Amino acid sequence: MSSGFIHLNIHSEFSIVDSTIRVKQIVAHAQQNNIPAIGVCDLNNMFVAVKFYKAAVAVGIKPILGAEVLVLDEHENMYSMTFLCMNHQGYLNLSELIAQAHQNGYHKNRPMLREEWIANHHEGLIAISCNQRGDIGQLILEKKLELASKKIEKWKRIFNNRYYLSIARVNRVDEKWHNEATIYLAAHHDVALVATNDARFLKPDDFNAHEARVCINQGLIVADPRREKNYTREQFLATPQQILKKFEDIPQALQNTVEIAKRCNFGFEFGKYYLPAFPIPEGETEGEYFRRITKERLQQFLQKNGTAEGFSEEDYYARLKFEVDIILQMGFPGYFLIVADFINWSKNNEIPVGPGRGSGAGSLVAFVLKITDLDPLKYELLFERFLNPERVSMPDFDVDFCMDRRDEVIEYVTKTYGANQVSQIITFGTMSAKAVVRDTGRVLGYPYPMVDGIAKLIPNDLGITLPKALEESRELSLLKETDEDAGELLDMALQLEGLTRNTGKHAGGVVIAPSKLSDFCPVYKDNHSEGILSQFDKDDVETIGLVKFDFLGLRTLTIIDNAVRAINATYEHPVDISKIPLDDSKTFDLLKKCQTTAVFQLESGGMKALIERLVPDSFGEIIALVALYRPGPLDSGMVDTYVECKHGRKEPDYMHPEIEEILKPTYGVILYQEQVMRIAQVLCGYSLGAADILRKAMGKKIPEVMKKQEKTFVDGAVENNVDESLAKYIFSMIETFAGYGFNKSHSAAYALIAYQTAWLKAHYPVEFMASVLSADMDHTDKVVHIIEDVKSMKIPVLKPDINHSDYYFKATKEKDAIVYGLGAIKGVGKGAVESLMQERQKEGEFTSIYDFCVRVDLHKVNKRTLEALILCGAFDELHPNRQALMQGMEGIIKAALQKNQDEESGQFDLFAMSSVKQTNEMPIPLPEIDDFEENQKLFHERDMLGHFMSCHPVSLLREWLSAIIPQTISSVLAQKPKDITPTDNDENRNRKFSGKPVVIAGLINSVRVRNENSATVLISDEEAEIETTFFRESYFANQEKMLKDEIVIITGDAGVDSFSNRYIIRANQILTLNEAIATYCSKIGFITSTPDYQKFSQQLINLIETHGKGKA
């Protein structure tokens, strides 16, 4: 190695707490300065090991892997030590040490090693003392040189010549004394000295951003004078020349960095797979067992179900043999057996499992092992799309489980294979645009309103970056240029954006290793969690050859399971959702009517519009719907072609007779990736493995690869007697649409779930919608939306009731209605409801609010909970006067507590000693006061439930409103054209609008102001809601009347806005109720029951005269 100095202990951004250096910058620095090797040693982790290793090797630089680890000595003194991996044994030992620190070494909320652990796992590691942060450094600063000498000798006995003392020259306090003492001790104990620079940021100018990064992690303010200053401006990623100048008086310390680099030769061995062993019966090999079990399962399936139309048993056995041969050849039978094991365990334990996900549904082996529920021959799904012998890669089953019980499956796998072999997978959160602005503003000490104002100028686009935001938001860029404070904040935020900020847990990824996980990668454990995580993310875990299993939670499976349980508990004939017919007319009628709210994958507004156009009448067309409703097909014209051809308004173009059968199910449209593969096979002689490579190449659109593929395709087609120009045309069509093509296996699996939910909604709407509501209980806005759909289905929703409601929504057969779930009430927790339900089940229904308070646990059902239950109407059946209950509540609680206290202290009355069951009669009367006004009660309900339960406030005025305003929101919405689809296309900025005049009344639900010169006002009545838009002049004229919760009359024009292609009301005017009376009422009549009409008339005249015209 020619360089005179090698950085050995750089902290990257993955140290999370103290570095702003990104991996690409480390590698680029080495390239630019001709450094042959470079080392990264993050704090307490090796998160970045694989990424750094790959990046360095890719440009010919030797990566040195290690970590700086916190250590706790026998006196509970904490210090740092750096370890570098010399070889594979060193990597295993460092991985094990880090695992032990995270699993068994937490102290003061930080993972730490113990010295005896190091003594047991030191082979293959180089140890470096870590300057003032290390044990020797701390003893030197404490002037305890004798103890330092003893510690050096201890480490020498363990590491021999693999132990180094380090010095740095970065202008730290006491650095001169530390370095002089370290040099002396190194010479005295014959320990090699090594120069370091403790790099934490890239350039000297990055110091301030680095300090901000440290403060963000610590929750401190940069300018706080009490803050510890642990870093200096010298800790940048210096060039070898800069370091050589610093240490020119100690050349050996520099040379030792090169020697250490030469000694460190660990490298990952990519391309191997490490599969856990599946237990096989004695006397059989894994391959023999796999071949036997799959054949037996296929026999069982065929005996019970027969073959799909157009296929023979020989077709099934041939397909099975083909798949099994490939799986054995590629060495993956254990993978299939493991997946089948935990899926079948789940099914046996009544944990819902999805029918399949992704390309795995294309495997017959997976089907007969009950990993998936779709016959791939019946639906023409291809195995090679899942596992391609010509493109070796791990199989990858993504498995959907019931959201509520997914963790049980992970627990089963952990117990089966061992807690030290199974882990979930780490993820890394980064500093996103808005978050980094807020974080930076906070640590720089800027006022919250200023920082909040800047953050709100960043567009709410998914994945937005600060550079992009500055391009898109003129206001933001202008602020940066003209406001010094905003400029400073944004400049620093730009430096920090994208840095790794925290760790998380992958939604479903689980690793199962063949031995303990630390034999392959270090593990991470948060002090507040139970399970371990791999320190490598999902990509890096797979890169090193570990097998990732995806245990995904799917809410819809929970909905289906709960609905089926409710149905089977209520009706005589049980439902088996896996055996429902896929051609049910009632289900397709529901789809054709677009009644697909809560139907999996088919519930969005855009999807409903597509269903309305397509009119699906077979399960195959539901598969197509899932594939069609994506940006590519929608924007490319594929959807229009499919719809027009389906309805006979256009002739399908199959391009060539040989591929007509492939394209006929999709009316000539290349909709599925599998069609691309089959066309290449049939027309050009590709194997399906080679065709899958073609498919993948088309998805990536790499020009040189595509040119080569085109030649192969065209040459193969010509050999099959296809005209060359036609072959080129077909290739161009495939190339155009292949990028939009969808995985049919995935589409078919999800179409099956969609169909099951549609079937349940069509046949058992009450049970299904109750289950849907229960699944979304934590999201009030979703509950409100679903209840609107329930009402449209004419299904009554009964208000909450302490004697009849459970925690979840439930169906009641007697009333053919849904009973409101108490868990959906704001301020009512699960513990409170469980206490209530247990007491109700034990002792029967509650007889009064006092009886309730005496019997439930008032620590769980607290005052806030009681208020929520009263205000939403849950006590109405016991006492209808909510205001009296609210006023008397505190006295009742005190009396209930006193009674319970008396009973606990032994103060029983004579009746309590008898065997007669006692009732808890009210010891104090409720106040005799009027109930809340109807309007008040409704708004209380809205506050507690998110919507008006008893009725809508507008309905209280409906009789009067109907006399002056005949239109309702529903009648206006009924005029909406059926052939419009909303779009967000910004190309046509010239808004054109033509509409019909409308006058509607409604309650203002929300007001959304845009650009300070327009607003969207959402109004509702008892039947529907609609958005009304006020542009410039009308906005300024009416903004003072845009008050939430006010009932108003809005005039305007309803029609299609060409800008957004949406049906809207372009509003002109808001009228208050008083203004509406003055505008629309020519006279007012009174109906009175008073016997003294003359007296009433005189009082009315006096009232009018007192207040004046228009004010009475």
**pTM for the full model?**
0.85
CA R_g for the chain: 36
pLDDT digits (tens, 9 = 90+) for 834-892: 999 999 999 999 999 999 999 999 989 999 999 999 999 999 999 999 999 999 999 99
CB 328 within 8 A of CB 283: no
H helices then E strands: how many in the chain?
Answer: 45, 23
Supply the pLDDT for residue 966. Answer: 85
Supply the pLDDT for residue 878. Answer: 94
- Start-to-end C-alpha separation, the chain: 98
Supply the pLDDT for residue 738. Answer: 72
For the chain, give the number of residues: 1112
Supply the pLDDT for residue 989. Answer: 36
Supply the pLDDT for residue 993. Answer: 52
pLDDT digits (tens, 9 = 90+) for 657-680: 999 999 999 999 999 989 988 999
Supply the pLDDT for residue 978. Answer: 61
Residues of the chain with pLDDT under 50: 910-917, 982-991
Where does residue 681 fall: left (phi above 0), alpha (psi -120 to 50 degrees), or beta otherwise? alpha
CB 883 within 8 A of CB 930: yes
In whole angstroms, give the CA distance from residue 669 to residue 733.
Answer: 10
pLDDT digits (tens, 9 = 90+) for 85-105: 999 999 999 999 999 999 999
Point out which residues pair with 994 in neighbouring strands.
1056
Q: Report which residue type is found at 857.
A: D
Tokens 């000539």 locate to 668
Closest CA to 14 of 48, 65, 38, 39: 48
CB 450 within 8 A of CB 441: yes
Closest CA to 192 of 132, 131, 259: 259
CB 678 within 8 A of CB 695: no
At residue 406, the 3 state secondary structure works out as helix
Other CB atoms within 10 A of residue 1072 CB: 14
Supply the pLDDT for residue 1060. Answer: 55
Supply the pLDDT for residue 910. Answer: 46
Supply the pLDDT for residue 706. Answer: 84
Q: Which domains does the chain have, with CATH numbers?
A: 13-200+235-263 (3.20.20.140), 286-427+506-556 (3.30.1900.20), 585-748 (no CATH), 764-945 (no CATH), 953-1080 (2.40.50.140)
